[in-house]
A = this chain, B = another copy of it.
Amino acid sequence: MTASFHNKILRVNLTDGTTRVEEPGAVYFRRYLGGWNIIADVLLKEVPAGADPLGPENKLVFAPGVLTGLAVSGVSRNAVGAKSPLTGGFGAAEVGGDWGAQLKRAGFDALIVEGAAEKPVYLWIKDGEVEIRDATHLWGQLTKETQATIREELGDRRVEVAMIGPGGEKLARYACIMNGTKDAAGRTGLGAVMGSKHLKAVAVRGTQSLEGADNDTLRDMARAMAEAINSGAKGGTLHKYGTGVGVEGGVLSGNLPIRNFRDGEFPGAIKLSAETFMPQIGIGMDGCFACAMRCKKVVKAEAPFTLDPDYGGPEYESFGALGSCCGVDDIIAVSKATELCNAYSLDTISCGVTVAFAMECFENGLLTLADTGGIDLRFGNGEALVQVVELIGKREGIGDLLAGGSLRAAEKLGGGALHYAMQAKGQEYPMHEPRFKRGLAIAYAVSPTGADHCHALHDIMLVNAGPDGFVANEGLRALGLLEPIPLEDIGPAKVRATLYNMVRSVAGNCACLCLFVPWSTDEQVRLLRAATGWDMSVHELYKVGERALTLARLFNAREGFGPQDDRLAPRSYGPTTSGALAEGGIDPAALEAAMHTYYGMMGWERETGVPTREKLEELDVAWAEAYLP
């Protein structure tokens, strides 16, 4: 029977130039699906404890899922993972575009890169073959240039390229990996791992089409979703504007981070809202492989900065981090900073929050004009923002300090700078205020990758039920979340809701499903069944997520992480200066209690947060017991 995976994992060793293909078997793919689980399997088994994330012992895993590459909306993401240079722990990020689908169509389910090349190289994968090619001439190029050069020299404009710009080459701790010029595997600094291996790019081209076990069902489901999106029945403003409409509402609720999560008022927020700025700078929408949603903004401008439409436009996380979080409301400056991040391969979230950190340090005298090379790095200065982002990308001047991320910079600066570093486990907060969405307070603290909003409970997913608090929306009710939970709660009920949704989200990540295309959990299972021919259930899908979270936890435990690392940035324990959260602030004792509740609920040791032997066995990964600390 045809199934939407090949049972082929490609390994490339850059130290000795060898390649090989492994066939781990159908059970492996059913147990893991893809993404995090494959990454965790490699990191635990193959990367020695204490390995330098930027050394040749680290391994870089490109892991699509069993759905990736099918002609269906919202299934063509791929995960990338390694030991994180930003956190020192489990590193993973998911990314859209066309690259993951091309890899699948080229005949591989995943790519594992080992060792390090002596000089710059890139990989050229085509229809089951792989070649390690010289990339000396590409080193130093921005991403757009890199992609164009590779396509030209391979003589194929349909080649998809995952790559780094100078930010990754120069080992910026939050360097991302770009799928083309618009889509970033943003978090946890995986671009620096690529840079440390002197791997400039992975070019892929597959000419085979990918079929599932039940193509009629896949076609019918794909068509129904596309029609629902195109008719406006599903997708709503995402299909029209991409992320980030109604941003001014985020000021009222307190969700939008303002000036490094310090303040509660920002009149310019409306200027950052997609429905405001798209009529000014938007020239269209773009999307991922085979996806009808097309939720990616394309923007263009000439002044005060030129915006190149070939780079990705500003999405919510980017214009939050580089905009409101830096106090900047000039959307063209913010979009330029976004473009630079994509060109240099920097994570817009960590970059923006690190610049915001620097701005607060500057306003408080911890950084001076001498440090910044004369840049007036005040909150709200859009020009300074653009200048500093480029310096980070080049790792020049103040950019060298800031390329280490807010935590490393704060440790170097001292003098109270740690209070301005908005990070958990060293990774900067995304653009959702955990003092407002308290499920995120739990998730930011406990997430194995550091602060992350993609595998978390956004409390707005709980439908407002009036005075009793929030009840679950339809997707969450199917997990058995039946009663209202007050917004401010971080007790066991909120922990449970957060945990359930984290597991569900991570399971979706493993399948490389997109959060934006609203496949219900039932439909996800139907897609998986039709793609693979397996009689999977929601229960089994949920176990896939538990497995990934538990293996990632185990990896972190082996690397020395413990409960003391499951904490928020100090500022989150106090209020904002004004606005909706002026009386906010997470109770640290309540958060600590929530962590232990979470550990126990996950079947991990309540006190230490280390997965139990029995939980590993229950999750059918008894092999992982060998890595218990």
Residues of A within 8 A of B (CB): 27, 30-31, 474, 477-480, 482-483, 492-493, 495-496, 499, 521-522, 534-540, 542-543, 596-597, 599-601, 603, 606, 612-615, 617-618, 620, 622
A478 touches which of B477, B479, B539, B596 (Cβ 8 Å): B539
Q: Is the CB of B482 within 8 A of A620?
A: yes
Given contacts A496-B620, A617-B601, A618-B499, contact A478 B535 (CB under 8 A): yes
Inter-chain contacts of A596 with B (CB < 8 A) = 614
- A483 pairs with B538, CB closer than 8 A: no
Report the nearest B residue to A26, measured CB to CB: B482
Indicate if the CB atoms of B537 and A522 lie closer than 8 Å.
yes
Please name all residues of chain B whose beta carbon is closer than 8 Å to the beta carbon of A540 when the two chains form the complex. Answer: 478-480
Known A496-B618, A606-B612, A612-B606; judge A479-B537 contact (CB<8 A).
yes
Contacts of A599 in B (CB 8 A): 614
In the complex, what distance in Å separates the CA atom of A495 from the CA atom of B480? 26
Q: Is the interface of A mostly helix, strand, loop or mixed?
A: helix
> What are 22 A-B contacts defined by CB distance under 8 Å?
A27-B482, A27-B483, A30-B480, A30-B482, A31-B480, A478-B535, A478-B537, A479-B539, A480-B537, A480-B620, A492-B617, A492-B622, A537-B538, A538-B538, A596-B614, A600-B603, A600-B612, A600-B614, A600-B618, A601-B614, A603-B603, A606-B612
Closest B residue to A617 using CB positions: B492
A538 to B596 Cα, complex, angstroms: 27
A496 with B617: CB separation less than 8 A: yes
Q: How far is the CB of A620 from chain B (nearest CB, A)?
A: 7
A617 to chain B, nearest CB (A): 4
Given A27-B482, A483-B27, A603-B603, are A617 and B538 also a contact pair (CB < 8 Å)?
A: no
Task: Please indicate the chain B residues that have their CB under 8 angstroms from the CB of A618 in the complex.
Answer: 496, 499, 600-601
A1 to chain B, nearest CB (A): 15
Q: In the assembled complex, which residues on chain B have CB atoms less than 8 Å from the CB atom of A612? A: 600, 606
The distance in angstroms between the C-alpha atoms of A11 and B19, with both chains bound, is 72
B613 near A600: Cβ-Cβ < 8 Å: yes
A607 to B308 alpha-carbon distance, docked (Å): 63
A597 pairs with B617, CB closer than 8 A? yes
Pick the contact of A539: B483, B538, B606 (CB < 8 A). Answer: B538
- Docked Cα-Cα span, A522 to B539, in Å, equals 11
A617, B496: Cα distance in complex, Å: 7
Q: Which residues of B contact A474 (CB under 8 A)?
A: 535
Q: With A and B bound together, what is the CA distance between A522 and B526 in angstroms?
A: 11
Minimum CB distance partner of A597 in chain B: B614
Contacts of A603 in B (CB 8 A): 600-601, 603
Q: Is the CB of B600 within 8 A of A539?
A: no
Shortest Cβ distance from residue A403 to the other chain B in the assembled complex, whole angstroms: 40
CB nearest to A605 among chain B residues: B606
Bound together, the chains give a CA A538 to CA B524 distance in angstroms of 13
Bound Cα distance from A542 to B479, whole angstroms: 10
A367 to chain B, nearest CB (A): 44
Q: What residues of B have a CB within 8 angstroms of the CB of A492 in the complex?
A: 614, 617, 622
Q: Which residue on B lies nearest to A541, using beta carbons?
A: B539
Chain B residues with CB under 8 A of A482: 27, 30-31, 620
